[in-house]
Structure 1
């Protein structure tokens, strides 16, 4: 185990912002192509626009003279699986959300200046999966893993005159290939980079700050310099930050590279943290004589952290509990196609809830997510792999590793022996410099190593992490922790992550007694379930032995569909959100927790007709569920209060309904139609929520929350009548085309008094005019399998969402909705 892990800051990797990049089929390439120039010697061009696509395996499509003119034209990023249709018989099944996969081809033609002094490379941030790339008919590389970017040198095969042809084959035909929805295609950004033959290598800048004081921080920089020319060169490596400059001269042989170590000082450093994500800029320049060969800018932050076996996590010398969320890679109805704007929206919602940490469950995320975590202030557990080789089977009533069958029939086990070292190395190199990253997670729920003690893979992966990055600890998400303890697996980790599986979430205290030197955090707890707007008063857990007490003797809401889950925090797998957070909060040695999950996601649905996982505290449309406000009540200080459930229960007159409140105030008073139902305060036994049993009658329930006897927050629910209209509201009135923004339009069913109808299911026809298009629709219903790309939607529990994208031209876009039997509504959004 690595000693101490009192970690200095790591610095943000060079990643120039290219705007919020579109996946629109019809976005004008002439108007949206962007280039980022570090210097005259290094030009990085956005390469997302102007591709041709065929969703089939086409013989000879890699050849230069192949005719792709009849293929579909589109811009990247692109996920063809999200385009549907949902199909109960789809080979991906419930893990893949019953969406199609298969084989697809992409082609693009381009011209580029070439000379003996230029190197041209293509960089893909993510292709799922089994990709192969050709340039002018020459194969330049294959990559099975679908979650990591890669770069290929195109220089030897480029034409200096005329068109070049880039072709990409993507094979996601063998299904299932994962335990959740993966999407298919070139789903992240693509860039073309041109440099001199003498240049900083790909992911070739590694920066740490080994010494930090109030007066100065030492910035240690390792720069890998490549000489791809045919002659020996004397090169000056010059770095600068905060008016400090250091230069070093090296001599490189032809076709070689060398790593140059340098240090400089940053005076009076402003430290990076979730509350103050301060960032700096480092300049790197390569000179051959007086000529600039390469130059780039690197954004960085300065911070130090450590894990303490008894006191948890410390950042910049101060105790900090990790308030984290696990998230899959998809962006809801957009699939995995990366829209930077959509990704940022999600992080904004989590930040407003008080979240300060992200676990990239269970594979490398996009570079854009890492940049946003740096900029917005999220700590990151950076995970590379899910399962390694084997699945589970039942043996004497216990789940154990199944050596005869992998967790997923066509999963990563097919490639792990050949590719794990390359994939893990590239992940560390790509994300090495992000100040947000605090741990490398090398696996999630790996039974072969945990249960049977086959720890060779763990040791090899851990040691590689330590070699490439000795400053960060290594972790893994362990379920069935008893087996990991017995085999020695857990003790080989620097920090032990506790997933809930196998009751691991109940073993913190006893494991701390047994392993007093262990550093611990909850890596995937709790697995609670909620369907937005649905309730049950009888608890329902996957593991009934852990089930909490029922809220009533008989079910108050028997009408709730069996495929929906309760929003009372009484549905889940084995522990509630409240009980899980109480354990994490009260055990000082626990560094924090990462709940499963922040957002609902496609796949892991539990079987048709459900197509979504309902573990999120925010639904697929970005509408918060009740539990979102539980976390906000525990993780924020700005006074807030949230009341549940809604108050439209026609036919339940006189029935006692549990009314609950999440608040960070110290007391609250509930009123029914103006009559006080009493003041509730938090007690030692009930310190997570307040509750009243209220005989239902139509009208208003109102809550007044107080601090020190003064009312600071008021919230209320009013009984709604039948829907009389569907109102439209956009999150923005103007959309920036250059920034590739999206407009999220919320459709709310309201009664004649403009009160939301919380159970309304209103079918709505959609139409759009102007330079915009309906990119996706969604209502958050886990059983809605009609598809994300269509011109109609039905509200689910009163709400639905329409996502509008620009088509490249400025002007006014009008979205018109025609609800069945209700008045037509319009909203206008300006494309700027």
Structure 2
């Protein structure tokens, strides 16, 4: 063997081994968020919905998906984007829109905006033949229908349920495969902003026929010898669902390995071999003992990993990983909640899942940033109101040490609702952060009757069968009747103490734990200290929102802390959110309930809770101290603190030192004088905290802070830029509303922007908008001579033309001709100022000539192999004729019903509405910009400018993803 031959042999052997290793990967789960195409359809007009559902046999025979659902539909003119995506946040605000949903131009009055189509090609190697392949969608709002290669796969009505489709049997191995998803957001599920589109991740999962089932592993831990935050041992009870999708019975062995938080193996177990019949599944149960386990807690959220291998003989055919935590939870009817045997008051907030600028399509790192903001306030628990939490939010809570009430969407036991409930529990039951399952919220129709009692008990029984380790609750807005949802609940969940006699209910059900699932319900606009209905502003001073059924943030926390039997309270809400605009209607577009605004900036009520919920000494003074024209007038000054005394000084002169009882606040009436207002907090007589608010001058500069200096080049990672308008001395200018303009360069894209203004109608996320004009009927004329193509007599003779898409028997089909003309018509597009009309055409056959209204035109090359002709409306007619003269017409032009794309592959007329500028006004001196890395590494820069202000530049580094 020559040296060269030997080296080639080694290289070939290495490549073969690498290919075998890739193929032998027991399980693959690949995120396919990139390279999607998107276009608006139409909710009521099939003609404007790309003629979807009009094809004969469309829903009667396999593979007859039409319009964008067809495999060979031409989507090259569609918008390219990466998931997650929320198209509702890109729409304008409109007074006809539903105020509860943020007054976006979506819903029944806007059928042209309420349906979206997504398409993507996926490559399935020939080597995948024999594996089971599934498409997994974490969240699509809403009413989504999935098609693969023109085949109908399935439908999911809810926008909050993760869904999985096995698409194995519909794939072309070693060839192109097309996934199409039609999303109809016309209807709503809640009474808050819910977005529209594929707003979470999409995955492609590949397994062997014998594998661990979807969400098929459940690890529960029982702790012994608990002292402090340590335990002597933990018994793991493991339930594993094994699925055999093969055609023959299979003998297999399960092997479990437990990895500690550092990744070290601390236990290994091999179960006895078993046989599983074809097309069946079974559950294997086992136990593993761990010594001195590291417990999951708020301060030390330690995570273990269970690695489960499915073996056939010596071959590992599946490897499934299950992260889990070891901890104990207990709800006590008299003493509240205990984590790892230690009493813990739940300091919680309710949260919807939208954020300023991005709607509900939050990148994972933005989800984590929001949770970190809540932790800064002292939050230790959140409630996913009012639907299951997204998987990445629970992952982040596991890592950060936050507790979760995971909530079902709507009460009921029908097969559809039961399936949603079971999916939530199976998906989320290994998360140590989840401490409570909630099966419903404020079900007014059944809240006080026997049906509510029955449904609550039945739903909690369903959950208990799947997970016996956690408590069960539901949230009630009223109570006290003989029957109702609360009567059937294991743990009593109350929304708002002012709406219940919680003490009486505790006496009535002395054995049942109590948690306040919603509390507060106050209105506050950040930086505003007098209500201004004309501008939809509420005062930020903490006060009840109105009536005896409401209470302030301070009143409610003091109420809870005085009752040890209450496990804790979840404030409504952590963040402001789009929609549910109380106390105002249009033109308000967001709520004002939050402890933080829609961008995550603290309101004063958030600082009260920070004082109540955190230990490090702090003081917070409100309001700001810039009140031109109010010199000498009294200002209500309040101080939130966790110190025991506070002294207030104005321009160096003491206004008094006061003792501050825990969970209360200090209050002074101060005649306004420009200068500095200083609060000093004393603990045990020692100065431990200080805050100064000073009178600001005119806006002079833009200051920027960023959450990240370095981003990962994964197309997902984000940085949050906080922008403030300062005066010449660097002081925040209250009331500043300067227009800020944004520009990015390098491997970075602008993702979204906001400012926390509850009535701002500025664009959140500027994006190009495409719409497509249809063509009239298509016709074809066969010719034997080239000169006949231009014969006006033949052109005008209707008998010379035929429908190229009409089915005719084989014996009636015309003989192939060497020349042909293809004709269609289109109406003059109606363009708004700034819009652009473009005619995209394909090369139908060699030697073609294109004529528009009888005149030859020459399109220019465009992307993806298309040609484009920019149309000038002034040169068009009310009805315009488009004609191709062809030599050697393609075989696909034969008259057959199989060509039922109705010419979409030959021409598309696209009208583009340009994106609005990336700019946003500051609100009370603040705005926010979210930027996202692309998949390319390198230096990046964001420039922020504003007329008359010193600009700001932020430099970031986008580093290659590991």
Establish whether TM, by shorter chain, passes 0.5: yes
Aligned CA distance change for structure 1 residues 628 and 708 (closer, same or farther; 3 Å): same
Q: How far did 1:448 drift?
A: 1.9
Q: How far did 1:187 drift?
A: 0.6
Provide the residue aligned with 2:939 in structure 1. 812
Preserved contact between residue 325 and residue 596 of structure 1 (Cα < 8 Å): yes
Matched, 1:759 2:735: yes
Task: State the SS of the aligned residue for 1:622.
Answer: coil
Provide the residue aligned with 2:630 in structure 1. 652
Counterparts in 2 of 1:218-237, with a 5 A limit? 218-237=235-254
Task: State the SS of the aligned residue for 1:430.
Answer: helix
Q: How far did 1:571 drift?
A: 4.8
Counterparts in 2 of 1:617-636, with a 5 A limit? 617-636=595-614
1:498 to 494, 505, 518: 494
Deviations 1:596-650 (A, max 9, x none): 0000111112321110111111111121111111111111111111111110011
Provide the residue aligned with 2:303 in structure 1. 279
Counterparts in 2 of 1:259-274, with a 5 A limit? 259-274=283-298
Equivalents in 2 of 1:825, 1:111: separation in Å? 44
Counterparts in 2 of 1:604-623, with a 5 A limit? 604-606=580-582, 607-623=585-601
Aligned CA distance change for structure 1 residues 610 and 337 (closer, same or farther; 3 Å): same
Provide the residue aligned with 1:53 in structure 2. 38
Q: How far did 1:475 drift?
A: 0.7
Deviations 1:779-808 (A, max 9, x none): 110110122024111111111111122233
Provide the residue aligned with 1:478 in structure 2. 476
Matched, 1:792 2:919: yes
Provide the residue aligned with 1:179 in structure 2. 191
Matched, 1:459 2:457: yes
Counterparts in 2 of 1:474-553, with a 5 A limit? 474-482=472-480, 485-500=481-496, 503-504=498-499, 506-536=500-530
Equivalents in 1 of 2:116, 2:129: separation in Å? 34
Matched, 1:69 2:71: no
Q: How far did 1:201 drift?
A: 0.3
Equivalents in 1 of 2:956, 2:651: separation in Å? 39
Equivalents in 2 of 1:754, 1:310: separation in Å? 52
Task: State the SS of the aligned residue for 2:361.
Answer: coil
Structure scoring higher RCO (CA < 8 A, sep ≥ 6) equals 1
Provide the residue aligned with 1:44 in structure 2. 29
Q: How far did 1:828 drift?
A: 2.5
Give 1 or 2 for the bigger CA radius of gyration: 2
Provide the residue aligned with 2:346 in structure 1. 322
Provide the residue aligned with 1:671 in structure 2. 649
Preserved contact between residue 96 and residue 179 of structure 1 (Cα < 8 Å): no
Provide the residue aligned with 1:826 in structure 2. 953
Deviations 1:542-580 (A, max 9, x none): xxxxxxxxxxxxxxxx76856211111125251101010
Deviations 1:629-678 (A, max 9, x none): 11111111111111111100111111111111111111111110000111
Equivalents in 1 of 2:387, 2:30: separation in Å? 27
Equivalents in 1 of 2:334, 2:40: separation in Å? 55
Q: How far did 1:319 drift?
A: 0.9
Equivalents in 2 of 1:177, 1:435: separation in Å? 28
Task: State the SS of the aligned residue for 2:357.
Answer: helix
Q: How far did 1:418 drift?
A: 4.5
Q: How far did 1:178 drift?
A: 2.3
Q: How far did 1:777 drift?
A: 1.4
Q: How far did 1:417 drift?
A: 3.7
Aligned residues between the structures:
741
- RMSD in angstroms over aligned alpha carbons? 2.0
Preserved contact between residue 940 and residue 957 of structure 2 (Cα < 8 Å): yes
Preserved contact between residue 617 and residue 627 of structure 1 (Cα < 8 Å): yes
Equivalents in 1 of 2:601, 2:484: separation in Å? 43
* Range with bigger deviation, 588-597 or 203-212: 203-212
Preserved contact between residue 97 and residue 604 of structure 1 (Cα < 8 Å): no
Equivalents in 2 of 1:566, 1:38: separation in Å? 63
Provide the residue aligned with 2:144 in structure 1. 131
* Range with bigger deviation, 717-726 or 366-375: 717-726
Q: What residue ranges of structure 1 are gaps of 5+ in the alignment? A: 1-35, 390-415, 537-557
Provide the residue aligned with 1:19 in structure 2. none
Aligned CA distance change for structure 1 residues 728 and 306 (closer, same or farther; 3 Å): closer
Equivalents in 1 of 2:740, 2:935: separation in Å? 27
Equivalents in 2 of 1:599, 1:133: separation in Å? 33
Preserved contact between residue 97 and residue 180 of structure 1 (Cα < 8 Å): no
Q: How far did 1:37 drift?
A: 9.5
Preserved contact between residue 491 and residue 518 of structure 1 (Cα < 8 Å): no
Q: How far did 1:687 drift?
A: 4.3
Provide the residue aligned with 1:94 in structure 2. 100
Q: How far did 1:812 drift?
A: 3.0
Matched, 1:202 2:200: no
Equivalents in 2 of 1:244, 1:761: separation in Å? 60
Preserved contact between residue 715 and residue 935 of structure 2 (Cα < 8 Å): no
Matched, 1:638 2:645: no
Preserved contact between residue 356 and residue 764 of structure 2 (Cα < 8 Å): no
Matched, 1:258 2:282: yes
Task: State the SS of the aligned residue for 2:365.
Answer: helix
